[in-house]
């Protein structure tokens, strides 16, 4: 098959035509590197190669754009990319971002765990859950959690002191506080001890 036409699209891509039929479009850089021009012979195998190169270029460009605005884990980035490109190109683009240091799951796990602990006062149970939802591995999660030095008791007391100007005496209020702290991911035993300290109770809630 001969390449019979090369046209720029409105979106700035290069469209190739063979025997006056549309074949595929690609980034101008991919076309420039291909060495093709009108009149060049092109077969099915070469078309497949060009399509893969074009898809990878598209995946990398989208990855750069996404990472310019926020941080992603490798799994998050891969999942987002596969909405627009094929899975193989998405995987290769993620690997390239990792090589460039733009995707760093270990660093992400450490930073995000610290943020959840210090700013949101999450307990370890909730922190692990949040990190799992980001697609991080069990090893990465446990490593990040091991770096935290927050005292659960002090963390819970800080939450209580911010929420209540005085220690609640009503049992219903204590129960709501207890449940809210559990939702933050603190262990029941830690919550009971902290509530007892905060309320000045001789016995745990």
Which pLDDT band holds residue 202 (cuts at 50, 70, 90)?
very low
Looking at the domain assignment, is residue 31 inside a domain? Answer: yes
d(CA 178, CA 41): 74
Which pLDDT band holds residue 177 (cuts at 50, 70, 90)?
very high
Are 20 and 46 contained in the same domain? yes
pLDDT beyond 90 at 36 = no
DSSP lists the bridge partners of residue 21 as 18
Are 9 and 74 contained in the same domain? yes
Are 109 and 175 contained in the same domain? no
Are 41 and 116 contained in the same domain? no
Residue 150's CB: how many other CB atoms inside 10 A?
16
Instruction: Confirm if 121 and 158 have CB atoms less than 8 A apart.
Output: yes
Are 82 and 109 contained in the same domain? no
Among residues 81, 83, 33, 3, the alpha carbon closest in space to that of 15 is found at 3
Looking at the domain assignment, is residue 140 inside a domain? Answer: yes
Q: What is the 3-state secondary structure (H, E, C) of the chain?
A: CEEEEEEECCCCCEEEEECCEEEEEECHHHHHHHCCCCCCECCHHHHHHHHHHHHHHHHHHHHHHHHCCCCCCHHHHHHHHCCCCCHHHHHHHHHHHHHCCCCCHHHHHHHHHHHHHHCCCCCHHHHHHHHHHCCCCHHHHHHHHHCCCCCHHHHHHHHHHHHCCCCCCCHHHHHHHHHHHHHCCCCHHHHHHHHHHHHCCCCCC
Question: Domain limits at 74?
Answer: 3-99
Q: What is the mean pLDDT of residues 33-58?
A: 90
Q: What are phi and psi of 111, to 5 degrees?
A: -65, -45
Rounded to 5°, angle at Cα 180 from 147 and 182: 50
Looking at the domain assignment, is residue 205 inside a domain? Answer: no
Q: What is the pLDDT of residues 62-118, one digit of tens each?
A: 999 999 999 999 999 999 999 999 999 999 999 999 999 999 999 999 999 999 999
Looking at the domain assignment, is residue 16 inside a domain? Answer: yes
Work out how many domains the chain is built from and give that number.
Answer: 3
Among residues 5, 49, 7, the alpha carbon closest in space to that of 28 is found at 7
List Cα–Cα distances, 72 to 85, 92, 126, 156, in angstroms: 17, 16, 20, 30
Which pLDDT band holds residue 203 (cuts at 50, 70, 90)?
low
Using a cut of 0.75, tell me whether the model's pTM lies above it.
Answer: yes
pLDDT beyond 50 at 46 = yes
Are 135 and 64 contained in the same domain? no
Q: What is the pLDDT of residues 112-144, one digit of tens each?
A: 999 999 999 999 999 999 999 999 999 999 999
Give me the residue label for tokens 């971002």.
97
- The per-residue pLDDT for 204 is 58
Looking at the domain assignment, is residue 190 inside a domain? Answer: yes
Looking at the domain assignment, is residue 204 inside a domain? Answer: no
């Amino acid at each position: 098959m001969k390449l019979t036409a090369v046209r720029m699209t409105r979106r700035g891509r290069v469209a190739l035509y063979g025997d006056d039929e549309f074949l595929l479009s690609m980034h101008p850089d991919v076309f420039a590197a291909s060495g093709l021009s009108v009149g060049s012979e092109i077969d099915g195998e070469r078309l497949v190669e060009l399509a893969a190169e074009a898809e990878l270029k598209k995946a990398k460009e989208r990855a750069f754009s996404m990472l310019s605005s926020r941080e992603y884990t490798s799994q998050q980035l891969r999942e987002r990319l596969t909405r627009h490109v094929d899975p193989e190109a998405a995987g290769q683009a993620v690997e390239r971002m990792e090589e460039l240091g733009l995707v760093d799951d270990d660093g992400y796990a450490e930073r995000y765990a610290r943020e959840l602990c210090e700013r949101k006062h999450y307990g370890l149970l909730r922190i692990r859950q949040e990190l799992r939802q980001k697609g991080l591995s069990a090893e990465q999660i446990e490593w990040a959690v091991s770096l935290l030095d927050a005292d659960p008791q002090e963390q819970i007391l800080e939450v209580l002191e911010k929420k209540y100007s005085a220690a609640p005496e009503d049992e219903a209020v204590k129960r709501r506080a207890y449940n809210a702290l559990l939702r933050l991911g603190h262990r029941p035993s830690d919550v009971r001890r902290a509530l007892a300290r905060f309320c000045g109770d001789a016995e745990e809630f």
